[in-house]
Structure 1
Amino acid sequence: MTAIASSKTLLGRTLLLDGVISGATGALMFLAAAPLSNLLGMGESLLRIAGFSLLPFAALLLFLAARPSVPRALVWGIVGANVLWTADSLLLLTTDWVAPTTLGYAFTLFQAVAVAGFAALQYVGLRGARTLVHA
């Protein structure tokens, strides 16, 4: 297994920030799905399920951010998950699965751009990280 340096690097800081923001967003969507549903024009169950799915992802990111090294393949998976979340968020706005309000469009676009930014920063951090172990 190949591991890379994490904590106190661009990668570690990005994993930490992504974990904090993903956790906060997930908790908000999960716990406040009913009022957000009306404000955003999205189904309560969609918001609750999406929010709930972010919580273990955020926990993983926070765990990895605290580690001195992380498996390279796992970080590639995180980058891929962030790219997929971004694409799915944009796809959601182009379908008729939801009828977002103006605030719903803004919320979805803002978080899609933020997640894409995390993916880009994690990619840069991954590319610049030094390899610690080869197997």
Structure 2
Amino acid sequence: MTTTATRPRTLDLLRVALRLDAVVTGANGAAYLAAAPLLTGLLGVPSGVLRGLGAFLLAYAAGVWLVAARPAISAGATEVVVGANLLWAAGSVAAVTTDRFDLTTAGAVWVLLQAAVVAGFAALQLTALRRR
């Protein structure tokens, strides 16, 4: 049973988790767009791919921010965000394990770290959603 005393805090946790996801994702996307030529050598991902990922991440971040900005956060929209985050995390691990790119050691570490952070966002969002 959700009481009025705990409900605002739970909604705040969900809103904060979504906004944090949007900010981190947007910053990552902006970095990929702005620094793609520099990051190519460091990570081992072609600059064109980084630019494409950057544009996608900026659009995704805007969508996540909009989900968080609604007066009443949609459970369905939050579930889509959680699912997308889990797919991103799984895809990141797959990119490393299948040698999709010629990742450097730093690139492989970065991709796996990013997967862990995104999976963490998904877990936090799902936990906050279930507590509503």
Separation of aligned partners in 2, 1:96 and 1:17: 30
5+ residue gaps, structure 2, are 1-6
Matched, 1:64 2:67: yes
TM-score for both structures, normalised by structure 2 = 0.88
Q: Distance in 2 between matches of 1:24 and 1:14?
A: 15
How far apart, in 1, do the equivalents of 2:101 and 2:8 lie? 41
Match of 1:29 among 9, 32, 35: 32
Deviations 1:6-52 (A, max 9, x none): 99521100001000000000010122111101110111122111111
Which structure has more relative contact order (CA 8 Å, sep 6+)? It is 1
Q: Which structure is higher in strand share? A: 1
1-structure distance, mates of 2:76, 2:8: 13
Aligned to 2:95: 92
Q: Which consecutive segments of 4 or more residues in structure 1 shift more than 4 A?
A: 4-8
Q: Give the TM-score taking structure 1 as reference length.
A: 0.86
Cα drift, residue 71 of structure 1: 1.6
Give the total of aligned pairs.
126
- Which residue identity is paired with 1:114? V
